[in-house]
Amino acid sequence: MKQQIPNTFGIKVYANQLLHYRSVEELQTLIQHKQLTAPLLHIGAGSNLLFTRDFEGTVLHSEIRFISVKEEDEEQVLLRVGAGICWDELVEYAVAHGWQGIENLSLIPGEVGSAAVQNIGAYGAEVADVIYRVHGVDLQTGELQSWSRAECRYSYRYSLFKQPEMKRFALTEVEMRLSKSGTPNLSYRGLAEQLARNAAPCTLQAVRQAVIDLRRSKLPDPAELGNAGSFFTNPMVSPQQAEALKQRYPQLPVYPTEGGNMKLSAGWLIEQCGWKQRSIGDAAVYEKQALVLINRGNATGADIYHLSEEIIRSVEEKFGVHLVREVNVF
Ligand code: EPU
């Protein structure tokens, strides 16, 4: 019997089968017994997915849930974390132990495995900053493999695991190095401002709370309004293109990046095209953050996809900038 695929857009879609496994051994048994009928799709919490149709294959989900200390000294701790741990549960745990490094990533929906695939980021931090090693299983052979952080080739919202040929691996465990003495990263101006508004001291707990307050003020809660966070990535352009755009649109937010290219704000570009609060059926642009598309109730995946196509078209037309979806579409 077909099984419903969890997704935070709140779209009703089904897979031929949905399999959960609680350990590496359980996953290897599924592989050996040939229970994974192709095509295969490995999901986390379904918080970065848009389904435009049912999935005629097997959807896999990790319930490998553990957090343990592999090594520690006075300065830092090396954690082993199961891929099926809820991301924010890990952040809460780290902050409660006084371990610094992921507090700026508070309240991001999803699980640890997909966080390492997508290189989740917010408020001046990325999970790649703390990743030490990633472990996985080859879904064709059941063999174990692991990758150092350098081998993961992390960059903005990117990792090696986004390459099509890497889809044959399921990540099972992520090792992360957190600091026992590090000071919070307040490089994102809005975070320092929120901390000041909260009249809070600069503790890890206070930073976590400030991030939670910021997110709640700007981003819809998927439990109340279907969404997958930022629908597009922020586009990178050459310094020349950024300069030309800035001449025409002096208000355009532009951020220099390490590689020398300039990052633009997709939310700003979308808003300037007049999309804020506009909708196609029940698929709409969120009123407080134009980078977020929402399901007002009965949108289909195709409605949301159609809205995203229209947005891409109009941003391209007005600014000559091509937006790329952050959300994975099926
Ligand atoms: N802006 C607008 N209009 C909008 C939205 C944004 O003008 O509707 C402008 C803002 O005024 C600001 C700039 O765009 O000057 C940047 O906005 P914001 O700080 O809200 O961040 P963002 O670039 O829109 C990114 C991440 C978010 C993350 C925030 C905070 C991506 C794709 N998104 O959004 O991540 O929470 O920064 O660091 O990089 C996610 O990936 O799902 C996500 C929510």
How many angstroms separate the alpha carbon of residue 92 from the centre of ligand 1? 23
How far, in Å, from the CA of 323 to the mean position of ligand 1? 14
pLDDT in tens, 42-71: 999 999 999 999 999 999 999 999 999 999
Q: What is the best residue among 129, 233, 236, 265 to mutate for testing ligand 1's pocket, by most ligand atoms within 8 Å of CB?
A: 265
For residues 158-175, average pLDDT: 97
Confidence of residue 201 (pLDDT cuts 50, 70, 90): confident
Predicted confidence (pLDDT) per residue in 84-94, tens digit: 999 999 999 99
pLDDT at residue number 214: 97
Active-site positions read 157, 230, 326
Residue 310 clears pLDDT 90, i.e. is over it? yes
Residue nearest (by alpha carbon) to ligand 1 atom 32 = 233
**Half-sphere exposure for 73 (CA within 13 Å, toward CB):** 1
How do residues 11-44 score in pLDDT, each as one tens digit? 999 999 999 999 999 999 999 998 889 999 999 9
Ligand 1 contacts (CB < 6 A) are: 122-123, 188, 218-219, 229-230, 233-234, 253, 265, 267-268, 271, 289-291, 326
Is pLDDT above 90 for 316? yes
Which residue from 47, 273, 276, 291 has its CB within 8 A of the most atoms of ligand 1, so it is best to mutate?
Answer: 291
Give the per-residue pLDDT at 1. Answer: 83
Mean pLDDT value across the chain? 97
The pLDDT, as a whole number, for residue 162 is 97
> How many angstroms is it from 123 CA to the middle of ligand 1?
9
What is the pTM assigned to this prediction? 0.96
What pLDDT is attached to residue 35?
A: 85
Give the pLDDT confidence score for residue 4 in this predicted structure: 97
Quick one: pLDDT at residue 144? 98
| CA of residue 186 to ligand 1 center, whole Å | 16
